[in-house]
Amino acid sequence: MKKFFETLSNIWKIEELRNRIMITLGLLLVYRFGCQIVIPGIDSTQLGGLLDNTDSGILGLLSSFTGGAFSNASVFALGIMPYISASIVVQLMGIAIPYLQKLQKEGESGRKTINQITRWLTIGICILQAPTYLYSLGALGVPESAFVLGKGLNFMIPSVLILVTGCVFAMWLGEKITDKGIGNGISLLIMVGIIARMPQAFVQEFISRTANNNGGLMFILIEIIVWFLIILGCVLLVMATRQIPVQYARRTASGGYEKNIMGARQYIPLKLNASGVIPIIFAQAIMFVPGMLGGAFDDTAVGQWMQVQFSDIFGWAYNILFALLIIIFTYFYTAITVPTNKMADDLKRSGGFIPGIRPGKETGEFLDKIMSLITLPGAVFLACLAVLPAVVVKLMNVQQGWALFYGGTSLLIMVGVAIDTVQQVNSYLLNRHYDGLMKTGKNRKVA
């Protein structure tokens, strides 16, 4: 414990890191405060039905993604999901549209243009989602008397503008956290929203087990042990790598290499799950679509079937499709974020080579093959963790709200974002010659 507090003290000594952490906490606090501000024109005292109807199921998951803003009819009710949906669309279009492919190859300037396209697309998605959300409040348990100004244009137009602005502001907060703070801002916004609902979910599970003679404290203890084991599995998935040996040499006059003259063998760490939690977030965003389509066409047999099958996040049809989407997005996002050909070219330029593999094209093909082989078990493991909430509901009769934290989207995002943030803090500590958070807090001696 003493070492831990010493490490915290070392973090506080680094002015840049301290400022980044304070900026991150401040912006997250602004986001959490905004999640409690109800849309003007709606009586907040009459939202009990909305809270009850969004306590579980797919609406409960959507509410957790928005930190409860969806259930509060907040100015942040749309959350950050429109931005994530826009990011998915832009990345998918990047495969087929030459203009976007060109932008992807232009480095920083191209990335800025793509980000701007994503922002405008986010606004477009918000303009479509905001009226849908406002009109659906009645079906979700908000009485007509709660709409102080009625549902005319004098309420709808300002409310749509507020919801769109709220989403854009949340997007801005996430980008500012990424640029000026610590960690990935968008992921952190989702994580704090999930954590905000965690205490309430555990209390409900505790009351269910103890007050209803449904297993008692012993079963609560078993659930906590299982929960920590799943966390361990999440950590292993995020941290696991395949080490590819690399040697360095210099070119001879004949064009060959003189081996082993530049030190000991090094390694390229290829991660088992190189895409992190992004495939889960992408897949989750897509999984909202079938239920919404079913609700839009509920007067047809197909629409009713879709609404029944894909509105239950603990049902078999939902989880099978969810797992398949996660596997697909894992391969897709890994192919985008791990440029094996570029890695091979960089190795060749620096005089590096993989023993037994010719530098250049063959090295790129070898790395691509290795990534394909290790991505499959990583993707399957990721999909299995994502559908664990449905398993524990069926087998252990766990409350649905608490089950969301057994693997699934919630726990994986929490673990992945926490590890990514800790690694960034560690990099600052190591650069200032301190040990990281996972080690002691002693000063490192500089040679």
Nearest residue to 163 (alpha-carbon basis) of 293, 53, 38: 38
What pLDDT is attached to residue 158? 92
What pLDDT is attached to residue 263? 46
The answer to whether 201 touches 408, Cβ cutoff 8 Å, is no
Nearest residue to 58 (alpha-carbon basis) of 231, 290, 282, 279: 290
Structural domains in the chain plus CATH codes? 1-16+198-447 (1.10.3370.10), 35-181 (no CATH)
Mean pLDDT, 10 residues at a time, the chain of 447 residues:
70 81 91 89 84 71 78 88 85 80 80 89 92 85 84 88 93 90 84 83 84 78 87 82 73 52 65 79 77 71 75 81 90 81 82 81 86 88 86 82 75 80 79 56 42
Rounded distance, CA 425 to CA 157, Å?
44
Q: Looking at this protein, which amino acid is placed at residue 143?
A: P
Rounded distance, CA 154 to CA 47, Å?
21
Nearest residue to 61 (alpha-carbon basis) of 173, 160, 203, 190: 190
Buried b (16+ CB within 10 A) or exposed e, 19-54: ebbebbeebbeebbebbebbbebbeeebbeebeebb
The length of the chain, given as a count of residues: 447
Q: Hey, what are 366's tokens?
A: 């070898």
Rounded distance, CA 351 to CA 257, Å?
8
pTM reported for the whole predicted model: 0.74
What pLDDT is attached to residue 295? 67
Q: Looking at this protein, which amino acid is placed at residue 221?
A: L
